[in-house]
Structure 1
Amino acid sequence: MAKRRNTHNKKQKDKVWKRGTSLQKKTVELGEIANVLIALIYWNPTHNHFEKAVHVPKGQSLPDATELTME
């Protein structure tokens, strides 16, 4: 994957830094409590990579990414 040009200002980077980890924890917590498949993906402009959080209940699997974008 080509390197992305970082066009985010400090305020935007700080917002991702401050809220991203909390959002990841809440995503997994919701998946575990409700026993649902849940996934979060967002771009971290400070470290120039994607962050993710996923919970997949036993017996289920992640759907194909193309299938998700077609809905």
Structure 2
Amino acid sequence: MEFRIVGKIVDVQTIAEGSGIRELALLRQRYGVGHWRKRKGIATVRLFDRTTARAELDWHGAHGIGKVKLKIKEWP
């Protein structure tokens, strides 16, 4: 599902970091070595059909690399 984040991500929480991330080897192979964290937060997103809605997002991120593998987890 394609979407864009509209505004800021709020209520950001770290779910896992370092060796607690299941895909850590894949992240390091694809994007490089970094202090990886799996995080979640709530944001307003605009979907492909131009509708907007609030959604809970999950992503992986590392300092100097940024957010990768962004996905919509659920609709609150």
Where on the TM-score scale, by shorter chain, does this alignment land: which range? Answer: under 0.3
Higher fraction of helix: 1
Query: Larger Rg: 1 or 2?
Result: 1
